[in-house]
Amino acid sequence: MTHRRILITGGAGFIGSNLALNWKRVFPESEVIALDNLKRRGSELALPRLRSGGVSFQHGDVRTPEDLEAAGPVDLMIECSAEPSVHAGYGQSPGYLINTNLTGLIHCLEHLRRTGGDLIFLSSSRVYPIAPLRALPLVRQGDRLVAEADAVRPGWSAAGIGEDFPLGGARSLYGATKLAAELLVEEYRAMYGLRAVIDRCGVIAGPWQMGKVDQGFVVLWMARHMFGGSLSYSGFGGQGVQVRDILHVDDLFALLTRQAADLSRLDGAVFNAGGGPEVSVSLRELTALCADLTGRRLDIAGDPATRPADIPWYVTDNAAVCRATGWRPERDVRTILGDIHHWLMAERCRLAPILGG
Ligand SMILES: NC(=O)c1ccc[n+]([C@@H]2O[C@H](COP(=O)([O-])OP(=O)(O)OC[C@H]3O[C@@H](n4cnc5c(N)ncnc54)[C@H](O)[C@@H]3O)[C@@H](O)[C@H]2O)c1
């Protein structure tokens, strides 16, 4: 293992805390530091988990360079801090989103420029623009939208969205901060010799995600079935047929360990990474699966209004990342939901006030 000291920004968040604990468990000789400003409601619940898993917690903010300096030199930084909602900034100030996702990333890059260390940056499928995603030729089949037979578009097939999907057009401010961050990573590679891999993640799900209406819908769906509260099928006519692929956070961890171990070969790569077509689900299908697991059926209303950043279908084409790393997602939708259900049952007293409606 070449990376002995690992800094995970956003390390008390859903992905960051799972990566930090898994990293320390699989590489016990490594020193893992989780830096987080605890902005996300529920992220404070990670602190005892991190402590008992041997991960050091540093209360800090990526908007403040001194907080990164305080972490000292690291061999690898995994950048997971963010305002992660695609709806952030609409109808309100984009200040926090831009300052955290973009200025914060620049501070992370500066820290690595000064002290050395590799970078794995968690980007997003939301770098792809909204209008062409909405224009994909889709038809309803049962409870979900599917690709029209034989339809072909650049960067798209029934296997999903590839890295060559055209990037022209608006993509939400969230997506724009991620794409701008990717460009800066590329410049730091070219100018300062930074070694970096970028993963454009689709929907990630699993235990310890503090799902809310604007981010983390898989956990939100299950939590509302268990703890009560309302859900609605919002957008695209309010039918609930929109589709996403889902990746279990432990499958993401497996990918990142492969990338970290092979960084000199993978340096500069930009991958789409997600569950892929086999691990995809529509909202209606998700409702049925949650009802099966919980024994509770919710009456879910349709809200036909489509919000500006909503898209009807996103499935990751994992071909490039699988080819380059030998990785593939192992957990299917039922396994992911089973893990979430088990976690919510075990932690219901602490989680019901946060995740219930
Ligand atoms: N969860 C997904 O489906 C998904 C999909 C694609 C990309 N991503 C990306 O993965 C990363 C992690 O996402 P997540 O799902 O774990 O979100 P999360 O909200 O659970 O975690 C983000 C963490 O960052 C912290 N944070 C926010 N602002 C900060 C700041 N200024 N300084 C320090 N910490 C700050 C929050 O307190 C939170 O704990 C993000 O970059 C996100 O954009 C997530």
Q: Which residues of 136-174 are buried (b: 16+ CB within 10 A; e: fewer)?
A: bebeeeebbbbbeeeeeeebbeeebbbbebeeeeebbbb
Strands 243-248 and 280-282: antiparallel
pLDDT of residue 152: 84
Q: How many CB atoms lie within 10 A of CB 94?
A: 17
Per the structure block, which two tokens stand in for 41? 């409601």
- Whether 107 has a pLDDT exceeding 70, the answer reads yes
Q: Beta partners for 153?
A: 156
What does pTM read for this prediction? 0.98
Contacts with 52 (C-beta within 8 Å, 6 or more apart), sequence order: none
Give the residue whose CA is nearest to atom 27 of ligand 1: 82
Q: Please tell me if the CB atom of residue 10 comes closer than 6 angstroms to any atom of ligand 1.
A: yes
Asked if 208 and 14 touch (Cβ cutoff 8 Å), the reply is: yes
Binning pLDDT at 50, 70 and 90, where does residue 154 land? Answer: very high
Q: Please tell me if the CB atom of residue 336 comes closer than 6 angstroms to any atom of ligand 1.
A: no
For residue 146, give its domain range.
5-355
The per-residue DSSP string of 81-126 comes to -S---TTTTTTS--HHHHIIIIIHHHHHHHHHHHH--EEEEEEEGG
Asked if 89 and 97 touch (Cβ cutoff 8 Å), the reply is: yes
In whole angstroms, what separates CA 310 from the centre of its chain? 16
The CATH code of the domain that includes 231 is 3.40.50.720
Q: Please tell me if the CB atom of residue 63 comes closer than 6 angstroms to any atom of ligand 1.
A: yes
Average pLDDT, the chain: 96
- Whether 1 has a pLDDT exceeding 80, the answer reads no
Binning pLDDT at 50, 70 and 90, where does residue 2 land? Answer: confident
What is the mean predicted confidence (pLDDT) over 314-323?
98
Give the residue whose CA is nearest to atom 18 of ligand 1: 13
Q: Please tell me if the CB atom of residue 84 comes closer than 6 angstroms to any atom of ligand 1.
A: yes
Å from CA of 153 to ligand 1 middle: 31
Å from CA of 135 to ligand 1 middle: 29
pLDDT digits (tens, 9 = 90+) for 216-229: 999 999 999 999 99
- Whether 109 has a pLDDT exceeding 80, the answer reads yes
pLDDT of residue 334: 98
Q: Which residues of 237-248 are buried (b: 16+ CB within 10 A; e: fewer)?
A: ebbbbbbbbbbb
pLDDT of residue 207: 98
Ligand 1 atom with minimal separation from the 43 CA: 39
pLDDT digits (tens, 9 = 90+) for 90-104: 999 999 999 999 999
What is the mean predicted confidence (pLDDT) over 146-168?
92
pLDDT digits (tens, 9 = 90+) for 246-285: 999 999 999 999 999 999 999 999 999 999 999 999 999 9
Å from CA of 97 to ligand 1 middle: 11
- Whether 292 has a pLDDT exceeding 80, the answer reads yes
Å from CA of 48 to ligand 1 middle: 19
Greatest Cα pair distance, the chain, in angstroms, is 57
3-state secondary structure of 139: strand
Ligand 1 atom with minimal separation from the 126 CA: 6
Gap between the Cα atoms of 123 and 201, Å rounded = 6
Q: Which of 36, 83, 178, 244 to mutate to test the pocket of ligand 1 (most atoms within 8 A of CB)?
A: 36
Q: Beta partners for 196?
A: 119
Q: Please tell me if the CB atom of residue 122 comes closer than 6 angstroms to any atom of ligand 1.
A: yes
In whole angstroms, what separates CA 100 from the centre of its chain? 16
Q: Please tell me if the CB atom of residue 16 comes closer than 6 angstroms to any atom of ligand 1.
A: yes
> In terms of pLDDT, which residue wins out, 152 or 298?
298
Q: Please tell me if the CB atom of residue 211 comes closer than 6 angstroms to any atom of ligand 1.
A: no
Written as one letter, the residue type at 252 is L
Per the structure block, which two tokens stand in for 199? 């993963």
pLDDT digits (tens, 9 = 90+) for 11-62: 999 999 999 999 999 999 999 999 999 999 999 999 999 999 999 999 999 9
- Closest residue by Cα to residue 235 from 337, 335, 133: 133
- Whether 320 has a pLDDT exceeding 80, the answer reads yes
Binning pLDDT at 50, 70 and 90, where does residue 185 land? Answer: very high
Ligand 1 atom with minimal separation from the 79 CA: 41
Written as one letter, the residue type at 21 is L
pLDDT of residue 149: 81
Gap between the Cα atoms of 264 and 80, Å rounded = 21
- Whether 158 has a pLDDT exceeding 90, the answer reads no
Ligand 1 atom with minimal separation from the 12 CA: 39
What region does 263 belong to: left with phi over 0, alpha with psi -120 to 50, or beta?
A: alpha
Q: Please tell me if the CB atom of residue 182 comes closer than 6 angstroms to any atom of ligand 1.
A: no
Query: Structural domain tally of the chain?
Result: 1
Asked if 195 and 185 touch (Cβ cutoff 8 Å), the reply is: no
